[in-house]
Each structure stands twice: as structure tokens, then as C-alpha cells.
Chain A
Amino acid sequence: MTTIRHHLTEDLILGYAAGTLPEAVNLAVATHVSLCDECRAAVEAHEAVGGSVIERCGTEDMSAGARESALAAIRGPAPEVPAAPTPDAVLPAPLLSYVGKGLSDVKWRSVGMGVKQAILPTSSEATARLLYIPAGVAMPDHSHNGIELTLVLKGAFEDEDGRFARGDIEIADDAVQHTPVADISEDCICLAVTDAPLRFKRLLPRLAQPFLKI
């Protein structure tokens, strides 16, 4: 496992453990946790707090027949559990369940400058997209109305906050204006999650924005 230098925030860890985040954000967290033992342990430690909450939250009486119908259910046939997907070198399991069998199943759409994107089907509170950025290309200058999570899956990019490689997650909010540049040596694939449209600083991308859905 590669060394991860950029981790989840405590807000994201707690929100994921509590189950209060939008689906697209959960997807970014689950993907990072698939690659990062440290954050996996942190999520499990926070889930232990949830265990105490369940123990302490009081009780609501179940109806008279509840136990019997649960017993009937466990005696009945269990629904078939889908087999775990075959591991993919670039896309961890949580992403595969949105994409298909592997990277070749991603339905890329060009957004210009060699950059491609694929929007993943999550709930609408936030948007998750895979981005393909050719080696050396800069994403347009942008800042955010909300948050943007960028998780590197392949290659690396650099911006004002440092270098981000596989497994690293950058968490930018509206205070951050940045221009990520993909490493010169290799094309970069990332998962980007936004909870509000990006704001581009230059006119052309801004005009294109409604069409790109970014």
C-alpha cells in the first residue's frame, strides 16, 4: 500500500460513521478508506461511538408479533448476495459498483483540452465525477461555492496545497482558489465530488459551465 499523505477531516470521518453525508461524499470517503488503513481505523473508532449511542438511546416497544415475524424471516430463504467485484488496479470496489467491471467501462465524455469526465449516478445533493486529466494539463482556475473533494486514483497532481498521489484526498472549500496541474509524467485520474457548482475565474469555462454540468 502506498503512503497516504492527505487524509480525511474529522468532520468527514464522523459524518461517514454516523451516515449523515450525501451519497457522493460517502462514495469519496469509502474510496479513500479502501486505500487508507489509518482513516479506516478512524471510521471504525467513530462507529464504536455509534455503538454506545444505540446502547444508550432508550427503547421503543416492538409490536406483539415482531419477534415471530423476524423468526419466520430467518427461517425463510436468504436473498442472494451479489459477489464482491473482482479488484481493479485503479478503481477500488466502492467505485466499481457505480462504474462496472473496471476502468474500461467508464463512459468518458470530453470536456476539452484532452480532459474527460464521467458523472456517476448518485443522489442529487452532491455530484461525483471521475476526471481524466492528461499529463501536464492544468484544470481551469476555479474556486468553490461549497466543497470539493478530489481523490487521486492514478497519477498525481500538484496545486498550491502540495502534491497529491493515489489515495490522497484534497478537501477544498470556498476559501480555496486553486489550479491543479497533473504530473507531467503520467495521465491523472481522480474522483471529484462537489456539493455546489464550481466557479471558474475565466470567461470561457464559465460559459461552458452549464453544458459541462460542472
Chain B
Amino acid sequence: MFGHTDPFEILEPGAVEPAPRTCDVMVKRVSAAKRVGVMARQDKADWITEMRRIRDHADEDAFVTLFDHFAPRVKAFLMRSGADAAMAEECAQEVMVTVWRKAAAFDPSRASVATWIFTIARNKKIDALRKQRRPEPEDLPWGPEAEPDQAEVVELQQESAHLGQAIADLPEKQRDLIEKAFYGELSHSEIAAETGLPLGTIKSRIRLALDRLRHAMERKQ
């Protein structure tokens, strides 16, 4: 389960990326799901605005906007992860209440709103479904800044959008495997074994995100 793959063997900056397979490039299905994806990306900047309005003005309208978009997604994520409908509903509500209470801890130069909500939902899943504590890393010496560097925010949000698009563009079978890993249905080695593909597009996007985060951390130390 925890094979000796070096994360940076693949993620090392400058590593040669495998040439994209024809199917990655050619398959461009314009599906309904994808159109929804495009709308979601256009909204992304606004999620940050909603977060600021919650943090700075305890703005309930902003909360309702986030709730209507994310609560049904968190509920679907938790049900796919093994929760029944009632538990998923209750947990999704608690996740959104946590979004409100921890709004000041959200740092848009390090995560998109969707990514941040994912981490809260994941922790809730471990707590409620697996009845375990979730050890979290020590906070960085610099906490979220009141107004993080705008260029860093834009860069991170664009990177997240590109990553989302790269996942949307994957052939369905590969995309399924990535999603299964997040629902606890497959380990990374199993993904590699099952596809025999290096999932190059995703790896290169993750690598870019990784480089960006690493540089952001270096600048702040």
C-alpha cells in the first residue's frame, strides 16, 4: 500500500513529462457536466468574495450563496464515501457551519474555496464515519494574512482552475480512478496498476501547484 515511490521522482521540477497520449488530446466531449464546470470556474473568484464578506461582515447572504452551492456537493461526496443520506446531510450542514466559523483561517493564496471546503469535509468524514481523530500539521509560523498578495491569489486560483480542467479533460476511466482514490476506494499504487498510465496531465498540474506553493512558502520565510 505504501510502495517506495518517491513523490518527487514524478513531481521534481523539470522532470520530463510523458508525451500526452492521443486520447488525452483528442477526446473533447462537450458534456453537460463540462458546461457546469465552466460556470463553476467563472464563479470561483466570487467564492473568495463570499468568504471575505463572511470574515469581515458576518454576511449571511454570502453564507447562503456558499451553502446552496457547496452543501449539496459535500453531501454527495460524503454519501459516495459511505455515509447514509441522514448522516451526510447532518455532516454537510456541520461542514458549512465550520466554513462560517473558520472563515478567518481561509487563505486564498494557498487554496481555492472548493479545496478548503474539501479539507473540512474530509476531516468531518474521518471524524463521523471512521470515528478517528485527524492529526493536522503544525500551523506555519505565518498565519493567513489579512490581505495576501493579490498576484499569489490570482496565480493559485488559476492553477486550481487548470487542475480542475485537466481532470475534466481526462478520459472517463482515468477520471474515475482519481475520484475513487478520494472516496477511499483505491490507493495510488492500485491506480497505477489498474491504468498502467502515469496520468501525466494530472501529475504535471499537481507539480505546477506544488512549485507554486513551495515558492510561496519560501517567500514568506
Where the two chains meet, the residues of A that have a C-beta atom closer than 8 Å to any C-beta of B are: 7-15, 17-20, 22-23, 26-27, 29-31, 33-34, 37-63, 66-67, 69-71, 73-74, 78, 84, 87, 92-94, 97-98, 122-123, 147, 149, 171, 173
Whether B196 sits at the interface, judged by CB under 8 Å, is no
B interface secondary structure, majority? helix
Could you list 19 examples of A-B contacts with CB < 8 Å?
A9-B7, A10-B10, A12-B2, A14-B188, A15-B2, A20-B184, A23-B133, A37-B218, A45-B207, A46-B206, A48-B163, A49-B178, A54-B118, A55-B164, A57-B80, A62-B89, A93-B139, A98-B135, A123-B130
Q: Are A147 and B2 in contact (CB under 8 A)?
A: yes
Q: Are A97 and B206 in contact (CB under 8 A)?
A: no
In whole angstroms, how far apart are the Cα atoms of A27 and B126 in the complex? 13
Q: Inside 8 A of A70's CB, which chain B residues have their CB?
A: 63, 67, 71, 93, 96-97
Where the two chains meet, the residues of B that have a C-beta atom closer than 8 Å to any C-beta of A are: 1-8, 10-11, 33, 37, 40, 60, 63-64, 67-68, 70-77, 79-80, 85, 88-89, 92-93, 96-97, 100-101, 110-112, 114-119, 121-123, 125-126, 130-140, 159-160, 163-164, 167-168, 178-179, 181-182, 184, 187-189, 202, 206-207, 209-210, 213-214, 217-218
Closest to A46 in B: B206
Closest to A34 in B: B138
Contact flag A67-B138 (CB < 8 Å), given A12-B2, A49-B167? no
Greatest chain B CB density within 10 A among A12, A49, A97 is at A49
Q: Are A9 and B136 in contact (CB under 8 A)?
A: no
Q: Inside 8 A of A58's CB, which chain B residues have their CB?
A: 73, 76
Greatest chain B CB density within 10 A among A10, A47, A69 is at A10
Q: Are B76 and A47 in contact (CB under 8 A)?
A: no
Q: Inside 8 A of A97's CB, which chain B residues have their CB?
A: 133, 135
Known: A49-B206, A51-B164. 9 other contacts (CB 8 A): A11-B3, A20-B187, A51-B118, A55-B40, A56-B164, A62-B75, A66-B92, A70-B97, A171-B4
